[in-house]
Amino acid sequence: MAAHLRGLVRDLFLRALDVASATSALPSVEIAHQTANLRGLAARPGEKCGLVVATSNAGKLREIAAILDGVPARWLSLADFPELSLPAEGLDYAANARAKAEAAARQTGYCALADDSGLEVVALDGAPGPFSARYGGADKSNAERVQKLLEALRGVHAPARGARFVCVAALVTPAGEVFSTRGECTGHILTAPCGEGGFGYDPVFSPEGRTQSMAELSASEKNRISHRARAFRALLPELYAYLGDTKSGNSEGLHHTELVLIRHAESTWNAERRWQGHSDPPLSQRGRRQAAEVAERLAQESFAALVCSDLKRALETAELIGARLGLSPHLDSRLREIHLGAWSGLVRAEIEARWPEEHVRYRAGDEDVCPPGGESRRMLRARVEPALSELVRRHPHGRVAVVCHGGVIRVVCPELQPQNAEIVRVAFDEAAVVNGTWLLVNTDQNG
């Protein structure tokens, strides 16, 4: 069972690479494998495996632990190994992260995590980059480095103040296997520090689609969108595979539910490029063919349930899929598309012409933009998250097909732009949902 589940998780995640390459302009996630199998040290029955985070940065350690909350590990850091020495850092994020993780794993005998991250600013040709933690000198404080950055950008205006946080995370097992991932968060540099949270350059970095600095976001919001969160969550399949194999020789620690999120097939309004929202056009003929093709792709899998939005385009898609799977769809109105109000039925050019400012903010991902008579993305998330969380609780260790809409899928995977009849697979840790936090394990988008 352990080997089968490990292989399933890794196979699903490897296919997620297609998503990263298809959305290269968006915050990305990449993964590279050094070897094929996980081994590692076995824990005693009932004991959690040790996991070393190769950092002496207390803020970074807290952030990583929060991002990976729910991982069944005994957390260790450099403070637990005062004699441990790490190699000098160089010019490459990936090489730095790998070297630190390899040194920690080799010297401690435990599985090790490390990362290297930096801030890249357009006006500074990507600087400070890998030198972000040493910008202005290794002896400088965070506040001094922030001030040096602001001085370097004095008189610089948008879009040259554009920037991105980059993080490469590495996982190394005691046997020498290496796994690395990359995450990014794009935004811009503010003219003055704002907020007391976070650390490093957070007070002067405003993520794309937000009006606050990273330091003004709640910890949970930051850990949902940050470069470090994207990188470390992309390592979860390998962490679970390693930890699952080392828990008394079985995979009982892998309490996860797989939700197979399916965007409805093409509707008549999709064919006309009209924005739909809560409007209720039926499937087009092409859409019916797309739904039948999805049904065939899923026919060899076993599903505990089939759930769908109550809008016609989702219900018709679900009925065609259900006929092939032998399941009757259960309707849940909370899985409807975002309510677009007065924008429904219009094409993009019409919306741009009548509501230019709101449209720009909406396209930028602003969660608080509300079309006239409609709802904001924040309101959408407030109704979708409980619906999906209930499915996870109701079907532990099961697979559930969910036919819904692009906006609903982006509540779970904000970086995706799923097309009609595309499939996005997500696995959620049961304990994480109980704790009120979704633990996204992987995505798998098929076209």
Catalytic annotation, residues:
116
> Given the structure tokens 């739909």, which residue do they identify?
276
The 3-state DSSP class for residue 319 equals: helix
Alpha-carbon separation of residue 324 from 261, 291, 332, 368 (angstroms): 17, 10, 21, 40
Nearest of 299, 298, 273, 296 to residue 284 by alpha carbon: 273
Q: Where are the beta strands (DSSP E) in 212-286?
A: 256-263
Phi and psi for 62 in degrees, rounded to 5? -60, -40
- CA of residue 297 relative to chain centroid, distance: 25
Contact between 22 and 32 (Cβ < 8 Å): no
Continuous segment of H or E residues that includes residue 293: helix 285-298
DSSP string of 258-269, one letter each residue? EEEEEE---BHH
Distance CA 365, CA 369 (A): 9
